[in-house]
Structure 1
Amino acid sequence: MFIVDDDDAVLDSIAELVMSVGLRAATFRSAREFRDIFNPEQPGCLVLDVRMAHTSGPALQDELNTIGARIPIVFISGHGDIAVAIKTIKAGAVDFVQKPYHEQQLLDSINEALRRDAEARQVTGNGEGFAERLAALTEREREVLEQVVQGLSSKSIARVLDISYRTVELHRGHIMEKLRVRSVAELIRLVIEQRNA
């Protein structure tokens, strides 16, 4: 697992906590340090501070989502910012834990993040079987998928394909279900990987 926090005391404290229950942890004092070594194929989870110099935790989350990285994130924050908490959870974060954190609460969130990571990797199998699932899509679903991969919104896809917004949303739901993906970012990543294979 990975811990990113620009406060050395907090960084060391969380690292000691997770190592005390047998987990391995790599620590980073900035988002840039983490990005430099990050490999999306490496299993684990990320414990991420909200407010840091240069790149904030939510900004790093946005970057990871943009590249289709599916690493589960547990945010920690010394500020009770409800708006930020809601935004990060909607963007896929597992939990938003306030400092000073209760050790068991943080460990529970980390364990949940690790469980989700393992489950997601098992479901997608790192792309194994994805070609077969793609082949199961209908012609219209393939057309919608192509527009999604190009980054178009449902409204734009509806205009391009001359169908209703609701129909596009239904097709998108079927695509996500058939391909067994949890986010558009993961969908795009797997499609690109499949094309480059």
Structure 2
Amino acid sequence: MAIVHVIDDDAPLRNALERLLSAAGYEVRTYLAAGDYLVAPPPLARPACLLLDLQLPGVSGLELQAALSRHPGHDHPVVFISGTADVRSSVQAMRAGASHFLTKPIDGDRLLAAIKDAVELDMTLHERHAREHQLQQALRSLTPRERQVLDGVCAGRLHKQMAAELGVSERTIKSDRARIMRALGVTALPDLMKLLVAPRPRPGSRP
């Protein structure tokens, strides 16, 4: 079950959002202020998003958004809500990576659609992180010469060229390449290149 972290100092609205989101099948956790959210233990391996009020006592919603990258366990996609149509703030929030920016009074259907998008984005980011972690582990398992061969393959160098540079036979280069492919879980050169140039998760984003 996905978690929605509702951060809003308006108690009646917070309670109404909790009822709406709980009825839609989400686990809802509510907070009065940004600090309350950051000090709470983050749940592990759970898709989540933040439903975050722009104006909060103390640390503002935009300030919390900027701080999330320093708290990886709490870093999830953000859906902003605001009592005013503040264009400058909404632009700033979206440029910083907010998933949606909604104004009060909040339409229930639009809110649920925004939450669904944010949770799906969080799941995508988590999957990218998992793939990146697996890739880094596989790369660390390669020998120094295999890393040189991998660099040569990525640069488009021929087996004959790499063999001459490394002082080994072409057969050895082919064997190294085969071990590299197995270690990285690919069977064809296009798959290898696609794996190595795949987009990386944004810095500070979770898991």
- Give the TM-score taking structure 1 as reference length: 0.68
Identity of matched residues, %: 26
> Which residue matches 2:61?
57
One-letter amino acid of the structure 1 residue matched with residue 7 of structure 2: V
Q: What are the superposed Cα offsets for residues 61-98 of structure 1, whole Å, 9 maximum, x if unpaired?
A: 11102344540100000011111101111111100000
| Contact 2:9–2:57 (8 Å) recurs in 1 | yes
> Which residue matches 1:103?
108
Distance 1:128 1:134 in 2: 10
> Which residue matches 1:11?
14
Change (3 A) 1:6 1:92: same
Kindly state the Cα deviation for residue 120 of structure 1 after the two structures are TM-superposed.
1.2
One-letter amino acid of the structure 2 residue matched with residue 54 of structure 1: G
> Which residue matches 1:46?
50
Report whether the alignment pairs 1:71 with 2:90.
no
Change (3 A) 1:40 1:93: farther
Query: Unpaired runs of 5+ in structure 1?
Result: 139-176, 191-197
One-letter amino acid of the structure 2 residue matched with residue 46 of structure 1: L
Aligned length: 152
Kindly state the Cα deviation for residue 20 of structure 1 after the two structures are TM-superposed.
1.1
Distance 1:113 1:16 in 2: 19
| Contact 2:129–2:201 (8 Å) recurs in 1 | no
Secondary structure of the corresponding residue to residue 204 of structure 2: helix
Distance 2:43 2:98 in 1: 16
Q: What are the superposed Cα offsets for residues 105-134 of structure 1, whole Å, 9 maximum, x if unpaired?
A: 000000000111111112221853141576
Matched ranges for 1:63-142 at <5 A? 63-68=67-72, 70-125=75-130, 128-132=133-137
| Contact 1:72–1:94 (8 Å) recurs in 2 | yes
Distance 2:61 2:95 in 1: 14
Larger Rg, first or second structure (1 or 2): 2
Distance 1:31 1:126 in 2: 31
Secondary structure of the corresponding residue to residue 101 of structure 2: strand
> Which residue matches 2:203?
184
Kindly state the Cα deviation for residue 24 of structure 1 after the two structures are TM-superposed.
1.0
- Give the TM-score taking structure 2 as reference length: 0.65
> Which residue matches 1:36?
39
Distance 1:124 1:185 in 2: 11
Change (3 A) 1:89 1:7: same
> Which residue matches 1:152?
none
Change (3 A) 1:53 1:70: closer
Q: CA RMSD in A?
A: 2.8
Distance 2:33 2:12 in 1: 14
Change (3 A) 1:64 1:133: farther
